[in-house]
């Protein structure tokens, strides 16, 4: 039975990845900052087979002890300050957790002697920022436009460096936006799905958003975690772009969500300039051709199905039925 250690196990990706690996027969160990994490109880309820270890990603000794205790064959570093807007208000925390946290795990692997452990770094399409070309592939230069993206770029380059300098099996998955009913309410996609459901039920009247012309390549998180696992099964470590290759605007996401509940988004959505980022990325679109050809990975959930699934989940949540 192979063992996987997942940092950020209580997040959207961590939960879907843990489910996928458990289904493949893995022993899964989740690293959490502490037992006071408010997401731990729901994780224990949903995934009781996941073992939990307290780990401080900014403490090398803490990480080293966790690796020694878990003895993992694979480590998936998904922990991050992942809300882009929050990163503008808390750049030092973002740099520490999202950037230096990855370095801490890699250094702990190097010093532990567990050099056969395979490492996955959750890199992000936000690193491309104001990209020079579209779509973006593994060779597209980075131009990060937020503290979050800068921290992710540092973590990604550090992963490559440990692969090249120390011979670790370390890969970076450059994942484009991936959503699900388990997305946090602070993210625009979940905000839209929740408000569409709440307005349909008469709980809310208006949804305020920032720039609705921003375009992203949106896919289903459950599909994307499968690509993470596939990257660590290859004979040679390398980085891969993961995405659908299709973009939609925030406005189109709104239209799909409100249409699903029989409403017109124009009657309920207003633009709020205060919600705009200090520096934004207007369009990101993936060229995941290498992932298709070398990993055999393809997305299975389309845009309209993804939006409908999120709205239906929030309808259930708001009416007291099963949540996400």
What pLDDT, in 10s, does the model give residues 259-293?
999 999 999 999 888 888 787 888 999 999 999 99
Please tell me which residue in 16, 62, 74, 126 is annotated as part of the active site: 126
Concerning whether 148 is annotated as a catalytic residue, the answer is yes
Highest mean pLDDT among 36-45, 110-119, 215-224: 215-224
| pLDDT given at position 100 | 97
Q: When comparing pLDDT for 143 and 279, which is higher?
A: 143
Answer whether residue 207 shows pLDDT above 90. Answer: yes
Q: Is the pTM of this model over 0.75?
A: yes
Give yes or no for a contact between 277 and 146, defined as CB atoms under 8 angstroms apart.
Answer: yes
**What's 267's DSSP letter?**
G
Q: What is the mean pLDDT of residues 246-252?
A: 97
Mean pLDDT of the chain: 94
Q: Which residue has the tokens 């998180």?
A: 221
| pLDDT given at position 39 | 82
> Which among 179, 173, 175, 129 has a CA at the least distance from the CA of 150?
129
Give yes or no for a contact between 133 and 245, defined as CB atoms under 8 angstroms apart.
Answer: no
- Angle 30-194-218 from CA coordinates, rounded to 5°: 65
Answer whether residue 7 shows pLDDT above 80. Answer: yes
Q: What is the mean pLDDT of residues 166-173?
A: 97
Tell me, which fold does domain 184-216+246-285+297-318 have in CATH?
UDP-galactose 4-epimerase; domain 1 (3.90.25)
Q: What is the mean pLDDT of residues 113-130?
A: 92
Concerning whether 126 is annotated as a catalytic residue, the answer is yes
CATH architecture of the domain with range 3-178+221-242: 3-Layer(aba) Sandwich (3.40)
pLDDT bin (cut points 50, 70, 90) of residue 324 is: low
Please tell me which residue in 124, 146, 180, 313 is annotated as part of the active site: 124
Please tell me which residue in 148, 162, 195, 224 is annotated as part of the active site: 148
């Amino acid at each position: 039975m192979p063992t996987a250690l997942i940092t950020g196990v209580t997040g959207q990706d961590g939960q879907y990845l843990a489910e996928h690996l458990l289904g493949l027969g893995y022993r899964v160990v989740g690293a959490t900052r502490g037992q006071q994490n408010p997401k731990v109880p729901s994780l224990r309820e949903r995934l009781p087979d996941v073992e939990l270890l307290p780990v401080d990603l900014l403490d090398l000794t803490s990480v080293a002890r966790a690796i020694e205790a878990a003895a993992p064959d694979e480590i998936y570093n998904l922990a991050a300050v992942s809300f882009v807007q929050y990163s503008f208000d808390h750049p030092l925390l973002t740099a520490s957790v999202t950037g230096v946290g990855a370095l801490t795990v890699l250094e702990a692997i190097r010093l532990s002697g567990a050099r056969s452990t395979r490492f996955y770094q959750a890199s992000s399409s936000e690193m491309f920022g104001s990209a020079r070309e579209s779509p973006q592939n593994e060779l597209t230069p980075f131009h990060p436009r937020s503290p979050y993206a800068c921290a992710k770029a540092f973590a990604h380059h550090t992963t490559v460096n440990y692969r090249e300098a120390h011979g670790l099996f370390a890969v970076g998955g450059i994942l484009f936006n991936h959503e699900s009913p388990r997305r946090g309410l602070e993210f625009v996609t979940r905000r839209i799905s929740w408000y569409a459901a709440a307005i349909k039920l008469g709980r809310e009247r208006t949804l305020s958003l920032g720039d609705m012309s921003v375009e992203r390549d949106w896919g289903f998180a459950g599909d994307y975690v499968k690509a993470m696992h596939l990257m660590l099964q290859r004979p040679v470590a390398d980085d891969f772009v993961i995405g659908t290759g299709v973009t939609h605007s925030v406005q189109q996401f709104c239209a799909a969500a409100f249409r699903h509940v029989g409403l017109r988004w124009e009657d309920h959505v207003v633009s709020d300039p205060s919600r705009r980022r200090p520096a934004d990325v207007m369009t990101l679109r993936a060229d995941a051709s290498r992932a298709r050809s070398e990993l055999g990975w393809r997305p299975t959930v389309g845009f309209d199905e993804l939006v409908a699934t999120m709205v239906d989940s929030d309808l259930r949540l708001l009416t007291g039925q099963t949540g996400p």
